[in-house]
């Protein structure tokens, strides 16, 4: 993705309260002519500190929707470490430039007191067994806190009955946070939110490293070592594409040759349920669908990545 | 409340799928003239086996709304005892007569596979500490299961964006299930559901027994003994109305004189948080607000009741 700024069509409308957000959404939808026909509304929830991966998500949502809302809220509930929360980058000015370029109509930037007026929720979303494995095992409470705020954001941006036309409502989340995406899809299904959850593919550097705001914490040498993650994913994907046995242990073996990279997990799971699949210990050809999940530490920086198989 | 049937205006429209429900709600709202003005939509979730208490709830919702939806769904998730679930009364024909008389527009009667197409939810609502006390202490999982289905029902009945007028959306729950009402209010606040939760006062027999489908399980003698519940509530309420010290132990003492009635709890709590208030051990005059909660067993039948103080 080019970093050259395209001419901004107009600055997004910034709102800080849920009442302003609802009014702005109604206004933007009503401004679309002709009334009565179907409209589309996209929401992209973010925690700010936007990079090219977010920009790709926002640009996709921009193309697919008449009205585009982006939220920026650093949600303390999903940090299991207070220092991590406090040191999380806040780069609102740079974020607004990216969002103007990507064409957001409305940017919702609420304060803590707007989102949690009564403090921490008493009635909570429980991510259950799905939220305890993989990233949840390393970050207790992370997914419950993430769902707590997504449950709110999906309601804040819901198209009001007053707009007078059918509105297809979509929410966008990056494919890189695969477990988050599965959990949000489950929450939307289990609570029957009237929203369509959509995703965009992972953005990578030319060398294959998945984009993440944490990449800037890596030395050039560590960033090079981290490329083993993509090599390992590709090794398995090529076998899957050829309907061969996957032999995940070969991919795991690649990590052993990179002493700077400490593998946490490398698993093949059902893309919908995150249930571990048995292909990694079988000689049978791969003919199904799966999601490879990987997490590793490089110089104290935790990196995650994933790849779909069979698609 | 009279049991004489008033002439039914029209039979409610019965729907069994969420798609039919949405379409029926849109149709009913659109049928209201003139378009563009505000409309009101009420939802009364029930498990059927309707009695005069439900009828009062439905009638109130009827008076307050242009379009009225009543749902009937016996939600297995909120039963912590399978036998209790299986033996729960299903009286659809009688229920429909009551709902026609009370003027429901739409009755939503989904099957299990419509509400739980994927089986039990993986992402759940956690009623937390609020759901563990009082009734939750005797019925583990009950409130989580109740919230799981209410979270869905509130979405199913949400007015669609296509109706072209502002719609005030309300959901109705009986005051008798006080803890349920508090938890639903908390869920709506914590997840920011765009709905106004409303309640109607407890219906009582002429003697004071709170209406419940369980009352039919009592012998006449047991029903008479159970009146101690109302006497105990009134004793405290009269003191509260006079701004006297409450001396809850006097109310508890009344139960000791009724050997057929086994008291579980008799507590004064904050109506919003269910936090126990300290008035029961103080000589100070009552000047605040509170909610008296009581549960007792009579001949193996669990009865609950409550009364607001300071209103």
pLDDT tens digits, one per residue of A222-278 = 999 999 999 999 999 999 999 899 999 999 999 999 999 999 999 999 998 899 987
Residue A9 has pLDDT above 70, yes or no: no
The answer to whether residues B303 and B229 touch, using CB atoms and an 8 Å cutoff, is yes
**Any domain includes B218:** yes
Phi first, then psi: give them for residue A87, nearest 5 degrees: -90, 0
What is the spatial distance between Cα A199 and Cα A172, in angstroms, rounded to a whole number? 5
* Token pair for A235: 């090794």
Structural domain count of chain B: 2
The answer to whether residues B69 and B42 touch, using CB atoms and an 8 Å cutoff, is yes
Among candidates B152, B163, B165 on the partner chain, residue whose Cβ is nearest the Cβ of A192: B152
Chain B residues within an 8 Å CB radius of A125? 123-126, 191
Residue A116 has pLDDT above 60, yes or no: yes
The predicted pLDDT at position B279 comes to 60
Give the chain B residue nearest A168 (alpha carbons).
Answer: B161
Given phi > 0 = left and psi -120 to 50 = alpha, else beta, which region is B125? beta
**Any domain includes B7:** no
Packing angle between helix B178-190 and helix B142-156, nearest 10 degrees? 60
Chain B residues within an 8 Å CB radius of A152? 191-192
Strand, helix or coil for residue B10: coil
Residue A165 and residue A264 in one domain: no
The predicted pLDDT at position A290 comes to 93
Residue A64 and residue A158 in one domain: yes
HSE-CB for B243 with a 13 A CA cutoff:
2
Residue A190 and residue A234 in one domain: no
What is the spatial distance between Cα B150 and Cα B21, in angstroms, rounded to a whole number? 15
Q: Where are the beta strands (DSSP E) in B85-127?
A: 106-108, 124-126
Tell me which residue of B74, B72, B39, B70 sits closest to B57, measured CA to CA. Answer: B70
DSSP per-residue string spanning B190-258: HTT-S-EEEEEPPPB-TT-PBP-GGGGGS-HHHHHHTTHHHHHHHHHHHHHHTT----HHHHHHHHHT-
**A308 vs chain B: nearest CA distance in angstroms?**
22
Residue A284: pLDDT band (50, 70, 90) is: confident
**Any domain includes A188:** yes
**Any domain includes A1:** no
- Residues of chain A above pLDDT 90, percent: 78
Residue B149 and residue B243 in one domain: no
Specify the CATH number for the domain of residue B298. Answer: 3.30.1300.10
Question: Are residues A125 and B124, on separate chains, in Cβ contact within 8 Å?
Answer: yes
Give the chain B residue nearest A22 (alpha carbons).
Answer: B194
Specify the CATH number for the domain of residue B172. Answer: 3.40.50.620
Catalytic residues of A, by residue number, are: 54
Tell me the residues of chain B between 224 and 263 that have a Cβ less than 8 Å away from chain A.
none
Q: What is the pLDDT of residues A197-226, one digit of tens each?
A: 999 999 999 999 999 888 988 999 999 999
The predicted pLDDT at position A281 comes to 54
The answer to whether residues B69 and B43 touch, using CB atoms and an 8 Å cutoff, is yes
**Any domain includes A4:** no
Tell me which residue of B198, B195, B171 sits closest to B45, measured CA to CA. Answer: B171
Residue A145 and residue A293 in one domain: no
Strand, helix or coil for residue B277: coil
**Any domain includes B95:** yes
DSSP letter assigned to residue A33: S
Cα dist from A246 to A28, A262, A275, B92, B176, whole Å: 50, 22, 17, 55, 59
Residue B64 and residue B113 in one domain: yes
Q: Which domain holds residue A291?
A: 213-309
Phi first, then psi: give them for residue B283, nearest 5 degrees: -90, 5
Among candidates B118, B160, B187 on the partner chain, residue whose Cβ is nearest the Cβ of A189: B118
**Any domain includes B231:** yes
Give the residue from A172, A200, A228 where a domain finishes: A200
Antiparallel, parallel or unpaired: β A39-46 and A67-72 = parallel
Residue A311: pLDDT band (50, 70, 90) is: low
The predicted pLDDT at position A286 comes to 85
Place of tokens 């024909």: B93
DSSP letter assigned to residue B300: T
Question: Are residues A164 and B162, on separate chains, in Cβ contact within 8 Å?
Answer: yes
Tell me the residues of chain A between 141 and 170 that have a Cβ less than 8 Å away from chain B.
144, 147-148, 151-152, 155-156, 158-167, 169
Give the residue from A140, A165, A200 where a domain finishes: A200
Q: Is A177 annotated as a binding residue?
A: yes
Q: What is the pLDDT of residues A169-180, one digit of tens each?
A: 999 999 999 999
The predicted pLDDT at position B1 comes to 42
Tell me what the pLDDT averaged over chain A comes to. 92
Residue B230 and residue B194 in one domain: no
Residue A8: pLDDT band (50, 70, 90) is: very low
Antiparallel, parallel or unpaired: β B301-309 and B290-298 = antiparallel
What average pLDDT score do residues A25-43 get? 88
Give the residue from B176, B200, B224 where a domain finishes: B200
Tell me which residue of B145, B136, B310, B306 sits closest to B232, measured CA to CA. Answer: B306
Residue A171 and residue A126 in one domain: yes
Residue A49 and residue A193 in one domain: yes
Residue A1 has pLDDT above 50, yes or no: no
Q: What is the pLDDT of residues B124-180, one digit of tens each?
A: 999 999 999 999 999 999 999 999 999 999 999 999 888 878 899 999 999 999 999
Question: Is the bond into B34 cis (omega within 30 degrees of 0)?
Answer: yes
* Token pair for B265: 């709890």
Question: Reduced to 3 DSSP states, what percent helix, strand and coil does chain A have, rounded to the nearest 5?
Answer: 40, 20, 40
Question: Are residues B190 and A155, on separate chains, in Cβ contact within 8 Å?
Answer: no
User: What's the sign of the alpha-carbon dihedral A155, A156, A159, A163?
Assistant: positive
Residues in Cβ contact with A198 at an 8 Å cutoff, skipping those fewer than 6 apart: A60, A61, A64, A170, A171, A172, A173
The predicted pLDDT at position A5 comes to 47
The predicted pLDDT at position B177 comes to 96
Residue A35 and residue A129 in one domain: yes
Cα dist from A210 to A124, A216, A255, A277, B130, whole Å: 32, 12, 17, 24, 42
The predicted pLDDT at position A2 comes to 43
Residue B144 and residue B258 in one domain: no
Strand, helix or coil for residue B185: helix
What average pLDDT score do residues A26-39 get? 85
**Any domain includes A124:** yes
Residue B150 and residue B19 in one domain: yes
DSSP per-residue string spanning A152-201: HHHHHTPPPGGG-S-EEEEEEEETTSHHHHHHHHHHHHHTT-S-EEEEEP
Q: Cα angle vertex B40, ends A19, B143, to 5°?
A: 75
Q: What is the pLDDT of residues A70-100, one digit of tens each?
A: 999 999 999 988 888 988 889 999 999 999 9
Question: Is the bond into A34 cis (omega within 30 degrees of 0)?
Answer: yes
pLDDT in single tens digits along all 311 residues of chain B:
444 444 546 799 999 999 999 999 999 998 987 777 889 999 999 999 999 999 999 999 999 999 999 999 999 999 988 888 988 889 999 999 999 999 999 999 999 999 999 999 999 999 999 999 999 999 999 999 999 999 999 999 999 888 878 899 999 999 999 999 999 999 999 999 999 999 999 999 999 999 998 898 899 999 999 999 999 999 999 999 998 999 999 999 999 999 999 999 999 999 988 999 876 456 788 888 999 999 999 998 999 999 999 86
């Amino acid at each position: 993705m080019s970093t050259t700024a395209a001419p901004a069509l107009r600055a997004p409308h910034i709102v800080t309260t849920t009442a302003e957000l609802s009014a702005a959404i109604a206004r933007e939808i009503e401004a679309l002519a002709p009334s009565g026909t179907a409209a589309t509304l996209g929401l992209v929830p973010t925690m700010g500190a936007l990079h090219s991966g977010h920009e790709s998500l926002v640009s996709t949502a921009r193309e697919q929707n008449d009205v585009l809302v982006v939220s920026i809220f650093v949600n303390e509930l999903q940090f299991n470490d207070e220092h991590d929360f406090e040191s999380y980058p806040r780069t609102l000015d740079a974020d607004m430039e990216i969002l103007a370029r990507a064409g957001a109509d409305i940017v919702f930037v609420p304060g803590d007191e707007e989102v949690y007026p009564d403090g921490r929720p008493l009635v909570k979303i429980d991510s259950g067994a799905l939220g305890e494995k993989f990233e949840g095992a390393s970050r207790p409470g992370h997914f419950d806190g993430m769902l707590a705020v997504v449950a709110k954001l999906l309601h804040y941006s819901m198209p009001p009955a007053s707009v007078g036309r059918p509105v297809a409502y979509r929410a966008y989340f990056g494919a890189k946070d695969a477990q988050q995406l599965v959990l949000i899809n489950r929450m939307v299904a289990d609570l029957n939110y009237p929203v369509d959850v959509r995703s965009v593919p992972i953005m990578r550097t030319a060398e294959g490293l998945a984009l993440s705001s944490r990449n800037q914490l890596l030395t050039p040498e560590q960033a090079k070592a981290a490329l083993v993650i993509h090599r390992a994913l590709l090794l398995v994907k090529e076998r899957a594409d050829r309907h061969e046995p996957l032999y995940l242990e070969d991919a795991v073996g690649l990590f052993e040759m990179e002493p700077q990279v400490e593998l946490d997990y490398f698993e093949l799971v059902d893309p919908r349920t995150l249930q571990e699949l048995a292909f990694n210990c079988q000689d049978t050809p791969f003919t199904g669908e799966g999601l490879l999940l990987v997490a590793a530490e490089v110089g104290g920086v935790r990196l995650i990545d994933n790849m779909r198989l069979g698609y």
